Amino acid sequence: MADLKLTGVEKAYGEVKVLKNIDLDIKTGELIVFVGPSGCGKSTLLRMIAGLERITGGNFTIDGVRMNEVPPAQRGIAMVFQSYALYPHMTVRQNMEFALKIAKKPQAEIDAAVDNAARILQLTPYLDRLPKALSGGQRQRVAIGRAIVRDPKVYLFDEPLSNLDAALRVATRIEIAQLKEAMPGSTMIYVTHDQVEAMTLASRIVVLAGGGIAQVGTPLELYERPENEFVAQFIGSPAMNLLPGKIVATGAETRVKLDGGGEAIAAIPTGDADLGLAVNLGVRPEDMVPSDTPALYTGEVEITEALGEVTLLYFKRAGEAAPVVAKLPGIHQGLRHSAVHLTADPAKLHLFHNGRSLLYR
Ligand SMILES: Nc1ncnc2c1ncn2[C@@H]1O[C@H](COP(=O)(O)OP(=O)(O)OP(=O)(O)O)[C@@H](O)[C@H]1O
């Protein structure tokens, strides 16, 4: 069992607070993924949990026991880094058993732990090889194996796949998902820049921004019900379009007149007090649907990108801060410079006022 709890955790470097008011409850068996823009503090938070960075404020417990002052080796945590940091002159087996030898465990126990980890990670055929005779993905599996043999309560992964090429990333990602299934009693925290890794691996995603937590939720909660514009635009690719407008009719559904022309109905309840409220209507590129008549958005296609299974249409009208993007299934050719009307299902629309979703008032 390993329940982690962070309460009011902060990190200051001198006067500068890079993390503040971090409250987070992580339950045994969860795989939590930290995402966020570069420099938001993902690695710092992970390293504080590992004990590699001092926690400058707040409380961090594992199973109710305060960890702030506990040395890294006594926290029951193993960390897997982006650079595998294997010993080049040692075989896979020697690399994996090293920590247990140092801890003077009996050889029979060491052999059993290494054989078990090798089996889980499908490394058994490679136990006598040197790291240089392995692929990048296999090396990262050895690094994970070194963590597994120590039987930690908590695994921390700091961008473990970022040194691998695209195909190996996919294969190793699936292996990590299987590893998680094989070890339901362990708790994992994973830092990544890769949205697909976050969406596919996480039980819950923590979005960090501006030194704090922007939202915590399951991948689908963050995708379908983002609490704020930051999360709405951070999760999903291309990012959600935000179209400014005003509420012109309220009720179980809300009608919005858009500043750039066009109207939309969102399946989000509002009350009389909201009439005239300035909002941003959020619509994901994949939720935009071509229409025969003017509806939510009409624009001239500036650029198209054909990706095979989908085509991206980019629109830019005078006064718009960012291009509006529509993602249409299939191949669409010859649309460049033509005017296209777009609509969307009311249930797929989002409304934000002052950056906050109206769903969460
Ligand atoms: N030793 C240090 N002294 C001062 N500031 C630091 C120190 N280490 C990190 N920082 C700052 O803390 C912030 C968080 O850094 P951190 O590496 O945790 O971000 P990150 O989200 O992991 O970024 P990336 O995605 O680029 O890896 C950054 O603004 C960084 O400049």
Cis peptide, bond prior to residue 238, ω within 30 of zero: yes
The Å distance, Cα 212 to ligand 1 centre, comes to: 13
pLDDT of residue 183: 86
> Which atom from ligand 1 is nearest to the alpha carbon of 36?
21
**Are 346 and 265 spatial neighbours (Cβ–Cβ below 8 Å)?**
yes
pLDDT of residue 170: 87
The Å distance, Cα 158 to ligand 1 centre, comes to: 13
CA 338 vs. chain centroid, Å, equals 36
Q: How many Cβ atoms sit within 10 Å of the Cβ of residue 353?
A: 16
More confidently predicted of 80 and 214: 214
State both tokens at 90.
């040692």
The Å distance, Cα 246 to ligand 1 centre, comes to: 39
The pocket around ligand 1, CB under 6 angstroms, is made up of 13, 18, 36, 38-44
Q: How many Cβ atoms sit within 10 Å of the Cβ of residue 220?
A: 9
pLDDT-derived band at 2, boundaries 50, 70, 90: very high
Percent of the chain with pLDDT over 70: 100
Mean pLDDT of 322-344: 94
The Å distance, Cα 39 to ligand 1 centre, comes to: 5
pLDDT-derived band at 88, boundaries 50, 70, 90: very high
> Which atom from ligand 1 is nearest to the alpha carbon of 193?
25
pLDDT tens for residues 134-145? Answer: 988 889 889 999
pLDDT tens for residues 184-230? Answer: 889 999 999 889 999 999 999 999 999 999 999 999 999 999 999 99
Give the residues across from 62 on adjacent strands. 4, 65
pLDDT-derived band at 167, boundaries 50, 70, 90: confident
Which residue's alpha carbon is at the smallest distance from atom 23 of ligand 1? 39
DSSP for 200-253, please give it: HH-SEEEEEETTEEEEEE-HHHHHHS-SBHHHHHHSSSSPPEEEEEEEEE-BSS
The Å distance, Cα 13 to ligand 1 centre, comes to: 10
pLDDT of residue 168: 81
CATH of region 234-360, choose from 2.40.128.120, 3.40.50.12240, 3.30.2310.20, 2.40.50.140: 2.40.50.140
pLDDT of residue 265: 97
Distance CA 21, CA 12 (A): 12
pLDDT-derived band at 318, boundaries 50, 70, 90: confident
CA 174 vs. chain centroid, Å, equals 16
**Are 351 and 280 spatial neighbours (Cβ–Cβ below 8 Å)?**
yes
> Which atom from ligand 1 is nearest to the alpha carbon of 44?
18
Distance CA 327, CA 286 (A): 5
pLDDT of residue 45: 97
The number of helices, as runs of H, and strands, as runs of E, in the chain is 8, 21
> Which atom from ligand 1 is nearest to the alpha carbon of 159?
27
pLDDT of residue 56: 97
Mean pLDDT of 29-53: 95
Distance CA 344, CA 147 (A): 48
**331: which DSSP letter?**
-
Which residue's alpha carbon is at the smallest distance from atom 9 of ligand 1? 44
Pocket test for ligand 1, best of 17, 18, 192 (most atoms within 8 A of CB): 18
pLDDT-derived band at 111, boundaries 50, 70, 90: very high
CA atoms within 13 A on the CB side of 275: 5
Q: Where are the domains of the chain?
A: 4-233, 234-360
The Å distance, Cα 43 to ligand 1 centre, comes to: 7
Distance CA 105, CA 290 (A): 66
pLDDT of residue 78: 92
Distance CA 233, CA 235 (A): 6
In a 3-state reduction of DSSP, which class is residue 290? strand
User: pTM for the complete prediction?
Assistant: 0.92
**Are 164 and 144 spatial neighbours (Cβ–Cβ below 8 Å)?**
no
**Are 323 and 240 spatial neighbours (Cβ–Cβ below 8 Å)?**
no
pLDDT of residue 166: 83
The Å distance, Cα 163 to ligand 1 centre, comes to: 20
**Are 148 and 117 spatial neighbours (Cβ–Cβ below 8 Å)?**
yes
Q: How many Cβ atoms sit within 10 Å of the Cβ of residue 240?
A: 24
pLDDT of residue 321: 82
The Å distance, Cα 29 to ligand 1 centre, comes to: 28
Pocket test for ligand 1, best of 11, 33, 44 (most atoms within 8 A of CB): 44
**Are 297 and 285 spatial neighbours (Cβ–Cβ below 8 Å)?**
no
Which residue's alpha carbon is at the smallest distance from atom 28 of ligand 1? 39
**Fold of the 4-233 domain:** Rossmann fold (3.40.50)
pLDDT of residue 243: 96
Pocket test for ligand 1, best of 20, 42, 192 (most atoms within 8 A of CB): 42
The Å distance, Cα 40 to ligand 1 centre, comes to: 7
Equal CATH topology for 4-233 and 234-360: no
In a 3-state reduction of DSSP, which class is residue 108? helix
Q: How many Cβ atoms sit within 10 Å of the Cβ of residue 100?
A: 20
Which residue's alpha carbon is at the smallest distance from atom 26 of ligand 1? 38
Distance CA 77, CA 17 (A): 25
Mean pLDDT of 13-41: 96
pLDDT of residue 65: 97
Q: If you average pLDDT over every residue of the chain, what do you get?
A: 94
Q: Is the ipTM of this complex over 0.90?
A: yes
pLDDT-derived band at 77, boundaries 50, 70, 90: very high
The Å distance, Cα 55 to ligand 1 centre, comes to: 14
pLDDT tens for residues 239-291? Answer: 999 999 999 999 999 999 999 999 999 999 999 999 999 999 999 999 999 99
Q: How far is CA 211 from CA 18, 55, 124, 159, in A?
A: 5, 14, 43, 19
Inform me whether the pLDDT recorded for 84 exceeds 80: no
**Are 217 and 247 spatial neighbours (Cβ–Cβ below 8 Å)?**
no
Which residue's alpha carbon is at the smallest distance from atom 4 of ligand 1? 13
